[in-house]
Chains A and B, each alone.
Chain A
C-alpha cells in the first residue's frame, strides 16, 4: 500500500468514525488554561463548532486510530470482510491533528475510537497513549472521549478513565438475538460487564473526589452508549425498555440511537432499506420523556401501538400518550402540580417552570400561557386557564388532526 499522507488518512478514518452518533462535549468538570500553561478549557456546556448537512453537530475531532479490524460485524463499514480502504494513524499524528484543529477553534477536543487490531489490550494501549500524550506531553485541557474495548485489561480501561472526560462502549443492538446475528464475535455479557466495571470505577473515584480534593478525576463526563435502530427485529417498545435498563444498571449519561443507514460495501445480512430517520427522532423524544419528564418506561411503551410495539411516526410520543390517556386532561395551569403540567403536549420543562413561577403573581389567562410557551395551538386542547376551558375537546375522536402537525408528504423522509 502506498504511503498515505495525514489528510488522506483523515478522510478514511473520519469516514469510518461517522456512524458513532455522539459528538457531545458537555457535562464534564470545568477547566481552563488561564495559568498560561497548556491549552484548552471546558465549560460544562458543550459547543458545536459546525454542523454538517446531515444535521449533526461537529464538536469533536471524531476519528478512528485505525479502521482495520479483526471483527466481522455486519453493520460496520470497517468489518474484516469489507473492501473499504484501510489506514492507520500514529498516536503522534492524532495528537498533532487535534492540537492544530483546537488552536484554530474548530473543535472542543477529540473523540477517539478504533478498529480492533492485534489484541484488545494492544488496541486499548494505543488509544490510551494518544490521550496520555495530549494530557501529559501537551497539557491539553480540552475534551477527550475515548471508546473502550470490551475485553481490554481493567488496568488499561482505568487509565483511559483518568485521561478522558467520557468513556463509552456501544451495546450495538437492542436485542441479544440481533447482536448474535449482526455482530457474532461480540457478546452482550462482555459488553455489559465492561459497562458495569466502568460504573464502579466512576462511582468509586467520585466518592474519593468528594473526600479528597486531590483525588484524581475519573471520566467526569461519565459513560454513554449507542444502539443501532432498524437493523434487528427490536420494536420501539423493546428499545425503550432496553434503554431504561441500561440507564438504571450502569448510570449512563446518555444512550444514543442511530438509525441504521446504508454503508458502502454492505454485508448481505443487513437490510437494504434504512428505517425512517423519524423513527430515531421519536426514540430520542421518548428518551427525553424518561429523563426529564418523569415518564416511567412502561408509560412510554404505552404510547406505542399495542399490536406492533411501534411509536407513531406522525406525532411525538408525548402527544401520542396524551391522546391515548385523555382522562388525564385537561390540566389546570393555575393549580396543577408541576408533574402534571409536564404531561401537557407542547409544554417543555422550561415552559412549565415559567408557568409555575408566573402563576404566583397572577391568574394565568390563555394569552399569558401563550407568552410562556412556543405554540399555544398545541397546548390549548389540553389545558384549563382563567378564561379558557376546552369544550370537551379531549373527548372528541377527531382531536388528533387538530393537534398533530400537518404531514409534510415527501419531505419527511429526506429532511425530517
Chain B
C-alpha cells in the first residue's frame, strides 16, 4: 500500500507530481491511498511503501483531462484523488478516454468538475463585501463566504483582476485571502464573527432589490434554482424574499383592480380613443388566413358605454362589402326583433365572433361558410378586447359560434338558451339565443313565426335580466 500525503485540500500540483510517478511505475489504483495533511493512515496497518521518484518515463495527457482534473481536485468529495488517479492510469492505454462521455468514470469526473465550476461561479456572484474605514481614512472591503468546495485560492485571481485598486479580504472557514493593493496574502480559516457586521449601503441595495422585483410575475422556483438557499444567509437582500413573495399576489390584483377603476372613471385614457385605436389595429389583422379573401375587417359598432352587447357569428356578403356588422338580411331580422323587444338599437353594441367573412365562391355568388374552431379561437382576442373596453352588463351570444367565442367551449343552444349566467373572468352576465339567420332558414311559416316570437322574448328577457 502506498500513501500519498497532499499539502492541502486543493493541492492539485502535489497530486499531479505523485500521480505521474505512480503511473510511470504502473502502480495500480487500488494500491494507492490519498490523504490530505496529516490525517491518520494506520487504518490500513503496516508501513506505507514510499512513492517512487518521478522517472524518465513520464507521459503526456490531453488538455481536456488536465482541465477537468484541475477542477475535480477542488471538489469536497474525499475520493476525488483516487478517481483522478484511476482515470490517469486508464489514459495510458486509452489516451482519448475523456472524449467518451458515456464512460461511467468520465461521467463521474465531469459531474464533479461541473459542481466545482458552479461553486466558483456562485462565489463570484454571491460574495458581498462590506466596507470598513480605517482610522487613517483608508477603505477596506471584507466579505464572509462559505463555499461548498475548496475553491477559494483558485478563485482569488478573479477578485484581484476586478478589484486590484481596492484593499480587500475574503474570509472563509478554510482559508482567508487578503489583497493588500499589491499582493495576495493568505491566512488560516476564520469564523463568521470575525467578519464585519453591516454596511449602510446594504440598505440601499435592498431598496434596489425590492424595487426591481416585478410582483406580477412570481417565479420562485426559477429563483431558488439559480440562487440556492444555502447561499442566502450571507446575502443581505435575501432577507426580503419572504415578504416580497407574500405581498406579490395582493400587489398584482391591486394593479388590476386599479386598472378596472380607471377604466370605469375614464382615468388613464379615453375609452372612445382606445376603441378607435383597437378598431384600426383590427383592420390589419392577420391572425388567421380569412383576411386573404375577405374585403375588410368588420369590427363591432355601437356606443362604447353600451350596457348590452350582441355577438353574432361573422359578417356576411353585405357586411363584408359595407364594413359594418348586421346590415344584411339577418341584420334586418335582428333590428326588427330588437325593436319589438323594446330595446333601442342605438344604445347597444353589436359585433361578431369572427371579424372576416368566410365564404365559398360558387360562380358569381359568395356562399357563407361556417368558421372553424381555429378561426374562432384566433379571433377571440378581439372579442376579449372589446368586452374589456365596453364592459357590458349583459352580453348576448347569437348562435353557437358566438357562444363558443364567449365561453371557449362547444355549446348546445337548445340546452343553454334562455337564462342569464356569469361569464368567465368577470365579464358580466351572459345570455345565449339563436342567430337571426336561423329564423330565415326555417322552411315552415308557422315554425318561423313561433321561433321569431321566441327570439323576441329572449331579447326582451336578456335586457330585463340586466336590471
Contacts and interface: CB of A to CB of B under 8 A. Distances in A.
Interface string A377-416: 0000000000000000000000000000000000000111
Nearest to B166: A103
Interface stretch (B211-219, B318-326, B396-404, B440-448): B211-219
A237 B129 CA distance: 47
Contact of B211 (A14, A271, A371): A14
B160 interface: yes
Interface string B368-380: 0000111101100
Pick the most buried of A12, A57, A82: most chain B CB atoms within 10 A of its CB. Answer: A57
A332 B181 CA distance: 57
B211 A50 contact: no
Interface stretch (B79-87, B187-195, B261-269, B330-338): B261-269
Interface residues of B, number: 100
Interface string A251-295: 000000001011111111111111001000000000000000000
Interface stretch (B7-15, B96-104, B340-348, B409-417): B96-104
B244 A34 contact: no
B99 A361 contact: yes
Nearest to A49: B125
A232 B385 CA distance: 10
Task: Specify which of B161, B203, B388 lies most central, judged by the most chain A CB atoms within 10 Å of its CB.
Answer: B161
Interface residues of A, number: 93
Contact of B205 (A48, A101, A354): A101
A136 interface: no
Interface in B153-174: 158, 160-166
A11 B211 contact: yes
A58 interface: yes
A327 interface: no
B102 A368 contact: yes
A385 to B, nearest CB: 11
Contacts of B375: 307
A262 to B, nearest CB: 4
B217 A261 contact: yes
Contact of B226 (A6, A48, A101): A48
Interface stretch (A39-47, A193-201, A207-215): A39-47
A58 B209 contact: yes
B219 A55 contact: yes
Interface stretch (A114-122, A173-181, A221-229, A317-325): A173-181
Which one of A36, A54, A177, A357 has the highest number of Cβ atoms from chain B below 10 Å of its Cβ?
A54
A272 B259 contact: yes
Contact of B101 (A14, A51, A354): A354
A273 B256 CA distance: 8
B419 interface: no
Given A7-B203, A267-B269, A307-B375, A181 B281 contact: yes
Contacts of B241: 53
B457 to A, nearest CB: 34
B389 interface: yes
Contacts of B223: 51-55
A11 B207 contact: yes
Contact of A74 (B131, B263, B269): B269
Nearest to B99: A357
B310 interface: no
Interface stretch (B27-35, B40-48, B284-292, B429-437): B284-292
B216 A271 contact: no
Given A40-B162, A105-B127, A357 B209 contact: no
A194 B395 CA distance: 46
Contact of A17 (B212, B263, B283): B212
B235 interface: yes
Contacts of B280: 177, 180-181
A40 B161 CA distance: 7
B164 A101 contact: no
Q: In terms of DSSP, what is the predominant structure of the interface of chain A? A: loop
Given A81-B268, A361-B99, A181 B161 contact: no
A103 B141 contact: yes
Interface string B120-136: 01001111111100000
B183 to A, nearest CB: 11
Contacts of B222: 51, 55, 415
A34 B161 contact: yes
B258 interface: yes
B87 to A, nearest CB: 15
A19 B207 CA distance: 17
A372 to B, nearest CB: 5
A233 B285 contact: yes
A119 B144 CA distance: 47
Contacts of B129: 103-105
B143 interface: yes
Contacts of A82: 268
B367 interface: no
B208 A14 contact: yes
A104 B199 contact: yes
Contacts of B260: 272
29 contacts: A7-B207, A11-B207, A33-B164, A36-B181, A38-B165, A49-B126, A50-B125, A51-B223, A51-B226, A52-B244, A54-B213, A54-B219, A56-B219, A103-B129, A103-B141, A105-B127, A180-B277, A181-B281, A233-B287, A261-B217, A264-B255, A268-B263, A269-B269, A272-B263, A277-B219, A307-B374, A308-B377, A371-B107, A415-B220
The 4 closest A-B pairs by CB, nearest first: A307-B374, A55-B222, A55-B219, A368-B102
Interface of B: 96, 99-104, 107, 121, 124-131, 141, 143, 158, 160-166, 181-182, 199, 201-205, 207-223, 226-227, 235, 237-238, 241, 244-245, 248, 252, 255-256, 258-260, 262-263, 266, 268-271, 273-274, 277-278, 280-288, 372-375, 377-378, 381-382, 384-385, 388-389, 425
